[in-house]
Amino acid sequence: MASLRHIGRRSSLYGVLSFFALFSAFPFFWMVIASFKRDHDLYTLKNNPFIFNEPPTLDHLHHLFFDTLFVRYLINTAVVGIAVVIITLVVAVPAAYSLARWTGRWGENLGIGIFLTYLVPPTLLFIPLSRVIAVLGLQESLWSLILVYPTFTIPFCTWLLMGFFKSIPLDIEEQAMVDGYSRVGAMVRIVLPLSISGLLTVVVFSFTLSMHEFIYALAFISSSALKTVSIGVPTELIGEFFEWGPLMAGALIPSIPVAILYTLFLDRFIAGFTVGAIK
Amino acid sequence: MSDFDGEFGRPRSHIWDREQVLAPLLIAPAILYIVVLVGIPFCMAVYYSLSDATTGSQTLHFVGLRNFQAVLKDAVFRKALLNTFIFTLVSQALVLVLAKILALALIKDFRGKWLARFLILLPWTAPIALGTIGWMWMLDSIFSPIDWLLRYMGLLGAPGALLGANSNLYWLGVPSLAMLSVILVHTWRMLPLATVILLAGLTSIPQEILDAAEVDGAGFWRRLFQIMIPMLLPIMTVAVLFGIVFTFTDIAVVYILTQGGPVHSTQVLASWAFFKGIEAGDLAQGAAVALFLFPAMAGVAALMLRLARRSEVA
């Protein structure tokens, strides 16, 4: 009896999970199918769209990589992402350390203030920022994105790192200082090596958040060769020839690695989101 | 600067070791970055909305509230304002219910959990602009596989069929269906985030409390409504607030899926600000439209702050 009920519970659990997994992953499953389907198969309305009615093909991938600027978009995205990661680390690490060890009211309020700027939406700022970018002569340049993206990575990563630094006992640092290190020396030699996983989280999130960004790239960049994946694929691949196969492959290929990275680090990301609400 | 903790205030020979100097110095670059590229642009947005700035001209003049008057008179703007609220509220209500169900399922141990987790998280972890492209095809006017399935089941495309005799529903071509599609994609996108936030909350409920309640004879629903939901309330608020922020200010879904169409029926504040401010070059009116995002966001921020303060006291 008990095992029957157990089986019942299990199957309803799997039922719920399969429904949601299907709902969430379906557009991506669809991209996989469309990326390898022959055009004739794709565009024949009578065909069952969920299966391969004709043998799969690599034509769309070939077309995507050799006849479009897709590879260029990937390179641009990587360049912007890496530069943003570096700027974020350089600015957020000292800020977070300062906030973690600065225990007065000022420090706390500053910390919350910095986190709140993460909530100021890019859709509110893109219009004045487009003017700032124009005045600086950075329009139609990847530098515009490299300059602006840290406005959302710095607040979030500072907040995230602050939590990490707070969890490192003060004694370790003080011992190092007794041993003759300066305060900065103690931070660099003792605290940072102990926070490797926090720093890694910051690297992953600065990169993925830059890759996800849409509105700034849309507003600042209009020459095709300078677009990132997030805007290049939806504007250029649709605009130029609107072939579903390469378009779906172009959406799928950047999504998967970034999704895997993000999933691996998600728990830390959520911990940053929910500081204060879980006790 | 007397706020520094005494234990750091030990005088040292080197100036860098003094907390009063070091702490503000370390944080200065972050503050500077945020002031210059968030604070000043925000003030510029306010100023633009009170001026006649365009992308073409170098000079601008103060025109008072004229832009706001013009914007408010515009029927498209009013539609966009209404849509922004509808899309956000409906999608977040759906997200909250679905995320609760999903979190209760995901907290269990089962085989293949990592795969289920990866698939369920995809809409949030993959770039939204790319995920939306998948939906474009799902909702395509001719090739939509949803329509194919409906036709296959006999609900569509035959004389007397439940959903009409047309061979397609034209998801993105009919105003009501286009609105439904946008809400669906927003729900799809925010569900994973809300789920993992709730999951973090669920795991923080001590198992002893639930066990004790079960021993005392409380059934599943009783435990859900009298223990789990009250204990999860703060974290549910966090999940909803983040959902609201991201949905309310999103432009990618509408821009890629419908461009605000058909005939502005899915226009939202963010997309309308973009079309006005960047594509039409009217920085002043674009800024005025975008500023309507601010009161709602400020409200959300204030709520979050109260929440953070309260949990600090507790």
Contacts of A132 in chain B (CB under 8 A): 37, 40-41, 44
CA distance B53 to A134: 14
In whole numbers, what is the pLDDT of chain A averaged over residues?
Answer: 86
Q: Give me the percent of chain A exceeding a pLDDT of 70.
A: 95
Per-residue pLDDT, B1:
37
**What does the pLDDT read at residue B266?**
93
Contacts of A178 (CB under 8 A, 6+ apart): none
pLDDT in tens, A78-114: 999 999 999 999 999 999 988 888 767 777 788 888 8
Residue-by-residue DSSP string for A90-124: HHHHHHHHHHHH--SHHHHHHHHHHHHHTTS-HHH
SS3 A222: coil
Predicted confidence at residue A184, as pLDDT, reads: 81
Chain B interface test: which of A39, A127, A262 (most B C-beta within 10 Å): A127
pLDDT at residue number B314: 41
Confidence band (pLDDT; 50, 70, 90) for A240?
A: low
DSSP string for chain B: -TTS-GGG----SSGGG-HHHHHHHHHHHHHHHHIIIIIHHHHHHHHHHTB---SS-S---B-TTHHHHHHHH-HHHHHHHHHHHHHHHHHHHHHHHHHHHHHHHHTS--TTHHHHHHHHHHHHHS-HHHHHHHHHHHT-TTT-HHHHHHHHTTSSSSTT-TT-SSS---TTTSHHHHHHHHHHHHHHHHHHHHHHHHHHHHHTS-HHHHHHHHHTT--HHHHIIIIIHHHHHHHHHHHHHHHHHHHHT--HHHHHHTTT-STTTT--HHHHHHIIIIIS--HHHHHHHHHTHHHHHHHHHHHHHHHHHHHHH-
Q: Give kind and range of the element (H or E) at residue A240.
A: helix A238-240
A68 contact partners, CB below 8 Å, separation of at least 6: A236, A237, A240, A246, A250
pLDDT of res. B3: 40
Is A191 within 8 Å of chain B by CB? no
pLDDT at res. A145: 95
End-to-end CA distance of chain B: 28
Q: What is the 3-state secondary structure (H, E, C) of A263-276?
A: HHHHHHHHHHHCEC
A242 secondary structure, DSSP code: -
Question: Mind giving me the DSSP string for A17-84?
Answer: HHHHHHHHHHHHHHHHHHHHS-HHHHH-TTS-TTS-SS---SHHHHHHHHHSSHHHHHHHHHHHHHHH
Could you tell me the two tokens for B47? 């100023």
Q: How many CB atoms within 10 Å of residue A200? A: 13
Predicted confidence at residue B70, as pLDDT, reads: 87
Residue pair A173/B5 in contact (Cβ under 8 Å)? The answer is no
Q: What is the pLDDT of residue B33?
A: 92
Distance CA B141, CA A32 (A): 20
Torsion from C-alpha of A66, A68, A69, A73, nearest 10 degrees: -90
Instruction: Return residues 220-279 of A near B (CB < 8 Å).
Output: 229-231, 233-234, 238, 244, 247-248, 251-252, 254-256, 258-260, 262-263, 266-267, 270-271, 273-279
Say which residues have a Cβ less than 8 Å from residue B105's Cβ, sequence separation at least 6: A13, A16, A17, A20
What's the pLDDT at A1?
56
∠ at Cα B91 (B87, B96), nearest 5°?
Answer: 150
CA distance A189 to A173: 9
Q: Report the complex ipTM.
A: 0.87
Residue A276 has pLDDT above 60, yes or no: no
The C-alpha atoms of residue B146 and residue B155 are separated, in whole angstroms, by 11
| Contact (CB, 8 A) for B273 and B38 | no
Q: What domains can you pick out in chain B, each with its CATH number?
A: 74-313 (1.10.3720.10)
> What is the model's pLDDT at position B274?
92
Packing angle of the helix pair B175-203, B229-248 (nearest 10 deg): 140
More confident residue, B250 or A2: B250
Show which of residues 232-261 on chain B sit within 8 Å of chain A, judged by CB atoms: 234-235, 237-238, 242, 245, 248-252, 255-256
Written as tens digits, the pLDDT of chain B (314 aa) is: 334 444 444 444 566 666 677 888 888 899 999 999 999 999 999 998 898 888 777 677 888 888 898 888 989 999 999 999 999 999 999 999 999 999 989 988 888 888 998 999 999 999 999 999 999 988 988 888 888 888 888 788 777 777 777 778 888 888 999 999 999 999 999 999 999 888 888 888 888 888 888 888 888 888 888 888 888 887 888 888 888 888 998 999 999 999 887 888 999 999 999 999 888 888 888 999 999 988 888 888 788 777 766 655 44
pLDDT for the residue A21: 92
- The beta-carbon neighbor of B238 closest among A49, A155, A273 is A273
pLDDT value at position A2? 61
Q: Say if the Cβ atoms of A50 and B274 lie within 8 Å.
A: no
Instruction: Using the predicted structure, report yes or no on whether residue A77 has a pLDDT greater than 50.
Output: yes
Contact B45 A117 (CB under 8 A): no
Separation in Å, CA of B279 to nearest CA in chain A:
9
